[in-house]
Amino acid sequence: MTNNPLLDLATIISSSNQKVIDRVSYFNNSQELYFEHYNSELVEQGIDDVDEVTAEVVLVDALLHENLLVYVDWKQEPDDVLEQLVSLSKGRISNCESYANLLNFYRNTEYGVGHFLDTQGDWPSIFNCIGSVGLKLLAIDEDSDGYALILVEHNSLDRTLDAFEKANVRLYSHFAE
């Protein structure tokens, strides 16, 4: 571990992916140079000032570019999101006992995925399904209406949550419960 909490967090949640580490290090070394280098990408996200580039934005972008995160809009079809999470988990989620029931429910719902990520109800739980295969679903809160979803191994959850706290990187709190 380093003396840089954001870099430590990036290392943990990317499983030491060098490209993620390099991108976060670039931000740590010079926010201005980072902003200049990734300007077109940031402007597409509605970020037009260096002061708007947060640790959350940098982390999400770094993970997204390495396919280590699923980024979805709140109104996206839940079955599409579930299938993306299956891919992110390298198929593990599809081994969940309730997976077929969850996928069928999601294919036939009229709600966007945000409904199922933000509220509890009498429907199959994506959190329970993912949890049953030894993973935890977390969402990085980058202050947008989208969800930056990551999967964390249960056995490293405490370490990961501690790293988020030390780096002052926000998570959607109801995901981390």
User: 């706290």: which residue's tokens?
Assistant: 165
Q: Which of 84-88, 92-96, 144-148 has the lowest mean pLDDT?
A: 144-148
Mean pLDDT of the chain: 95
Per domain, the residue ranges of the chain are: 1-67, 69-177
- Compute the residue count for the chain: 177
Residue with the larger pLDDT of the pair 173 and 35: 35
Task: Decide the pairing of beta strands 146-153 and 70-73.
Answer: antiparallel
Distances (CA, A) of 28 to 34, 119, 170: 9, 36, 17
How far is Cα 80 from Cα 97, in angstroms, rounded to an integer?
19
- How much is the pLDDT for 171? 95
Q: Residue 137's closest CA among 150, 121, 154, 148?
A: 150
> The tokens of 48 are what?
């037009």
What is the model's pTM? 0.94
What is Dmax (Cα atoms) for the chain?
Answer: 49
